[in-house]
Structure 1
Amino acid sequence: MIRIDRDSPTRDDVHLLLSEHLADMFATSPAESVHALDHSALSAPPITFWTAREEGDLLGCGALKLLDSPTGPARHGEIKSMRTAATARGRGVATLMLRHILDHARARNLEHVYLETGTEDYFAPARRLYARHGFTECPPFADYVLDPNSVFMKLGL
């Protein structure tokens, strides 16, 4: 049975998965268009980080970053570092993680969840996953700027 729990991005097996994630991002996108976070950035207080595991084996990870709100509690979040281990692809891990993150966002009473992903073919499965769950394209959000290598998406909760 696959379990999703809060975890540390600095844990050895997670660190390795995140390093693979970053390497793939830099291999498929220009450096100035890579917005993936490393394990230390994913440890920051406004970020909640989860892993999916089965019998202790790491299957994937994902995070929710709360976006700043100058007038009170955060009302918006951003999905970060969604990644499925190569050995677990095709098993629905990304769907389980996405649902978990969205459930957490709803429990926090967030109004919207945003994300940034790439325009390259490599990112097509991710874009399809998010579209299947109701995400639609939107203008850049937070500190992002228009970038021909980025697709910005949001979901109202």
Structure 2
Amino acid sequence: MDIKIDDLTGSVVAELLGEHLRSMALHSPPESIHALNLEGLKKPEITFWSVWERDELVGCGALKELDGQHGEIKSMRTSSSYLRKGVAKRLLEHIIEEAKRRGYRRLSLETGSMDAFEPAKRLYASMGFQFCRPFSDYIEDPHSVFMTKELISEQD
């Protein structure tokens, strides 16, 4: 698997992100969808990665800097033909390592509370994320779950 920073200009990346947004709309009410579109992911505080197996896009994810010590995972998505093949875990490990390299003390995320999001919640929990209260600009929402992980940087 090859994980690389992506400039979000490729059509296959746009298609995978479109699939991601359609899935969110299928499982969450509009006011509870916090997924970013292409333009939202191009903001300077966000680093976006695409994951490739040879020349096939197999997943994507992003890291948003909330402040100098806190990052947020955004837009984690695995291509439907690569589910349960380790793509999300490998990308999550990559994002955690990058967050540590940046000196973040905490890494957080928001995901859905419905059954469709159970695999994601299990993955995050297996990597040390714990349920928490809303962070940043999020508010309590019965359709959202918030998770966080305290990080130990290389300098510690």
In structure 1, runs of 5+ residues without a counterpart are 69-73
Structure 2 residues not aligned, in runs of 5+: 152-156
In structure 1, C-alpha distance between the alignment counterparts of 2:35 and 2:133, rounded to whole Å: 19
Q: Which residue of 2 aligns with 1:94?
A: 88
Question: SS where residue 146 of structure 1 aligns?
Answer: coil
Distance 1:8 1:123 in 2: 27
Q: Quick one: distance in 2 between partners of 1:91 and 1:108?
A: 28
User: Match for residue 154 of structure 2?
Assistant: none
How far apart are 1:8 and its partner, in Å? 2.0
Q: Distance in 2 between matches of 1:147 and 1:10?
A: 33
1:85 maps to: 79
CA distance in 2, matches of 1:15, 1:109: 30
* Secondary structure at 2:64 match in 1: strand
Partner Cα distance (2:87, 2:99) in 1: 18
- RMSD value over aligned CA atoms? 0.7
Question: TM-score normalized by structure 1?
Answer: 0.95
Instruction: Determine if the alignment matches structure 1 residue 125 to structure 2 residue 124.
Output: no
Inter-partner Cα distance in structure 2 for 1:90 and 1:26: 22
| TM norm structure 2 | 0.95
Residues 47-101 of structure 1: CA deviation (Å, up to 9, x unaligned): 0000110112100000000004xxxxx1100000000001111110000000000
1:25, 1:34 within 8 Å by CA — same for their partners in 2? Answer: yes
Q: Secondary structure at the match of 1:40?
A: helix
